[in-house]
Chains A and B, each alone.
Chain A
Amino acid sequence: MKCEEMLKALNDYVDGDVDPRICREFEKHLVGCDPCRIVIDNIRKTISLYRGDEPYPLPREFHDRLHDCLRARWREKYGRGPS
């Protein structure tokens, strides 16, 4: 396997979604290729960093506006509900 082919198969490899035969070739390539190994590691860390980034809480003003709006809609839909 060449670096070029590696780049194409990279997504499936990172997602663990790759044909076992190609996976073996991929890993054989990685043993002898520092740059490719580091690129794979960088990509895994990139994804992990984005996934680990907890979303911020809603700003108070928007939170209240959102919940007020939904409460009013709920009353329209169910004709009862929140007090």
Chain B
Amino acid sequence: MATSDAGGPSDLELLNRAREGQWEAFEELVARFERRVLRVAERILQQRQDAEDATQQTFINVMENLEQFRGEASVGTWILRIAANQALTVLRKRRSSRLVQPVAGGSDSDEPLPPHPEFIAQWRDDPADLAHRSEVRRLIDEALAELDEKYRVVFQLRDVEQLSTRETAEILEISENNVKVRLLRARLQLRERLTRVLGDESTRVTPPTHDH
């Protein structure tokens, strides 16, 4: 998660200089993380204006809490946690005005069993070759948007932003086991959706119905 340019100051050095009141250091830190913060907010909130507001509030919170950074996680993880918390605060406010299923909370037992894989085939291309194609970028955004909020948020925090299971559990106020269960469901659903588009039909195999 370190994003220091070759030879440039590390994220931690920038944070320390910002604590001493150096605006330029703080602005550089913002420049390093603003794209990821906006993406987290947008992926969680699925609404552009709310995501921009949450991004702005995230960096205000970062500024107000520079002295609170303890170095228990990397600077990047710390900022992304603040971003996730901010986006979730907006979700909770939305929830108070309409009836929606909570993304946070809930017990492990309310999770349905994970879906069984149905379309099973090798992908035609490597992820590295796919990532630059605009139709693929659209596909992965759409696939994520189709997930239930609670699965989408866990996938974004764990697999995309690479927060730990414990960090994700703390942010969402759910158990670590619940994070794992939701992540499994998210991964299986995304796999199914993407493989239907990116899979090579000629390599398709029948889902296992047998025990062996």
Interface string of B28-71 (1 = CB under 8 A from A): 00100011101100000000000010011001100110000000
A49→B23 contact, CB < 8 A: no
Consensus secondary structure, chain A interface? helix
B131 adjacent to A49 (CB under 8 Å): yes
Picked from B21, B30, B203, the residue with its CB within 8 Å of the CB of A67 is B30
Residue of A nearest to B207 (CB): A35
Q: Which B residue's beta carbon lies closest to that of A45?
A: B127
CA distance A36 to B117 in the complex (A): 9
Number of residue pairs across A and B with beta carbons under 8 Å? 134
User: Bound state CA distance, A4 and B126, in angstroms?
Assistant: 28
Q: Which residues of B contact A69 (CB under 8 A)?
A: 56, 60
Residue B90 is within 8 A (CB to CB) of chain A in the complex: no
Determine whether the beta carbon of B128 is less than 8 Å from that of A52: yes
Q: Is B145 an interface residue (CB 8 A)?
A: no
Q: Which partner residue on chain A sits nearest B38 by CB separation?
A: A58
A22 within 8 A of B: no
Q: Interface residues, chain A, CB within 8 Å of chain B?
A: 2-4, 7-8, 10-12, 14, 29, 32-36, 38-39, 41-43, 45-58, 62-63, 65-67, 69-71, 73-74, 77-78, 80-82
